[in-house]
Amino acid sequence: MGNFSFKPIVLVTTGLVFALSCAQKSTKTVEVRGVYGSPKPLWDKGYKLNELGVNAIFVHSGAIDQAMVERAKSEGAKVYAEFATLNGKNYVENHPEAWAINEKGEKVKAATWFMGVCPTEPGFRSYRFNQLRDLLSKFDLDGIWMDYVHWHAQFEDPEPILPETCFNDDCLNEFSAHTGLQIPDGSTTEKAKWILTQHDMEWRNWRCKVIHDWAVEMKKILKEANPNALLGLYHCPWDDEEYNGARRRNLGLDYDLLRETIDVFSPMVYHGRMHRDPNWVEENISWFSNRLNIEMGAYPKVWPIVQAHDDPSIISKEEFETVLLGGLAGESTGVMMFTTNSVAKDEAKTGVIKKVYRNLSEE
């Protein structure tokens, strides 16, 4: 997808109008004013989370320690752990049985920086679920946010990578057992061709069920450890038609299935990475709220994550404010930004966080 042209006058006007509408949301409506990443860069600058209006931190599970949890909670913030669910990097290299296989019978290559995994491989499933149990036993967390929850692909770049997977024995056997279809004998390539040409609909539906089953199992483990904790999902923000319906067709993300289990959806509306106009964030979250028929005050909820990080280009403070406010469009009741460090090292962006979040935290 090509670059969008920016129109400063339209952006400023839209931003002002939308800022007024967001200001009308009460503190009861805007539940979460979050940051993604360790809060240490902000603390190192001398800030306290409550002074910035921040009331939630979302941190990669491997970066959490007890001191961080205690300090964040002492400053009025809830602590949510990002959990890299189906990222197979550093696992598949040592467990080749978990390597995703494409329609040619070959091991998939990394999709830019992402290395997926076969989501049906029993060893990997046990490994991840045990990691989750261990995490929940160590820290008093307010929720788990599943990340990398899709079949091997890359959606965060302007030109997505959308391979056909996974055709290893575990997936073929589970697909056959689930559907009752007897896959003809032959090579992996021949089996994949038979499925994609003769039973494509059943294949796509089954793949969506596999992803949903991960959410079901994760929630079961989470609720056993803490009945009040939330299960969130970082996910691709494409609508139903983009890239020929690739969100469901290739990634396996079926909103109608997932809403049965997910407590909070967090669309990854990274406008800079995806070469979108900043106003796209507001448009996308409004669409998403309608698509899921989100009701204010009920589950599931919508708390998007927007981009502050300067990659692949510089995100100005004006852009950042536009997308931060845009994340509160529709029936959204919270917003967070990627990343804490990107905001901490830029005084202008820190100022945006303080202005927007403190305005939302005060009647």
What's the CATH code of the domain at 131? 3.20.20.80
Local confidence band at 24 (pLDDT 50, 70, 90 cut-offs): very low
Cβ proximity of 352 and 315 under 8 Å: no
Give the whole-angstrom CA distance, residue 260 versus residue 267.
17
Q: What is the pLDDT of residue 4?
A: 32
The pLDDT mean for the chain works out to 93
Domain count of the fold of the chain: 1
Q: Please check whether residue 254 lies inside any domain of the structure.
A: yes
Show the tokens assigned to 346: 């830029």
Bond before 312 cis per omega within 30 degrees: yes
User: Domain residues for 218?
Assistant: 32-163+205-361
Q: What is the pLDDT of residue 277?
A: 97
> How many helices (H) and strands (E) are present in the chain, helices listed first?
14, 9
Q: Please check whether residue 292 lies inside any domain of the structure.
A: yes
Out of 3-17, 176-190, 253-267, pick the least confident.
3-17
Show the tokens assigned to 11: 């952006």
Q: What is the pLDDT of residue 26?
A: 52
Given a cut of 50, is residue 13 above it in pLDDT? Answer: no
Q: For 207-212, what is the mean pLDDT? A: 98
- φ, ψ of residue 193 to 5 degrees: the values are -60, -40
Give the whole-angstrom CA distance, residue 27 versus residue 275.
32
Q: For 240-264, what is the mean pLDDT? A: 98
Q: Please check whether residue 354 lies inside any domain of the structure.
A: yes
Q: What is the pLDDT of residue 297?
A: 86
Q: Mutual orientation of helices 200-225 and 122-138 as an angle, nearest 10°?
A: 30
Q: Please check whether residue 123 lies inside any domain of the structure.
A: yes
Out of 14-28, 129-143, 313-327, pick the least confident.
14-28
Outline where DSSP puts E strands in 186-263: 230-235
Q: What is the pLDDT of residue 2?
A: 33
Local confidence band at 25 (pLDDT 50, 70, 90 cut-offs): low
Q: Running DSSP on this structure, what letter comes out for residue 130?
A: H
Given a cut of 60, is residue 246 above it in pLDDT? Answer: yes
Give the whole-angstrom CA distance, residue 297 versus residue 157.
33
Q: For 281-287, what is the mean pLDDT? A: 98
Q: What is the pLDDT of residue 361?
A: 83
Q: For 303-329, what is the mean pLDDT? A: 97
Q: Please check whether residue 316 lies inside any domain of the structure.
A: yes
Q: What is the pLDDT of residue 264?
A: 98
Residues in a beta bridge with 165:
102
Given a cut of 80, is residue 220 above it in pLDDT? Answer: yes
Place of tokens 């970066």: 63
Q: Please check whether residue 104 lies inside any domain of the structure.
A: yes
Q: Please check whether residue 13 lies inside any domain of the structure.
A: no
> 30-81, pLDDT tens digit by residue?
999 999 999 999 999 999 999 999 999 999 999 999 999 999 999 999 999 9
Give the whole-angstrom CA distance, residue 64 versus residue 140.
11
Q: What is the pLDDT of residue 362?
A: 72
Q: Please check whether residue 135 lies inside any domain of the structure.
A: yes
Rounded (to 5) percent helix, strand, coil in the chain: 45, 15, 40
Give the whole-angstrom CA distance, residue 20 versus residue 77.
26
Neighbours of 107 (CB within 10 A): 11
- φ, ψ of residue 80 to 5 degrees: the values are -120, 135
Given a cut of 90, is residue 82 above it in pLDDT? Answer: yes
> 102-150, pLDDT tens digit by residue?
999 999 999 999 999 999 999 999 999 999 999 999 999 999 999 999 9
Q: What is the pLDDT of residue 29?
A: 82
Cβ proximity of 23 and 356 under 8 Å: no
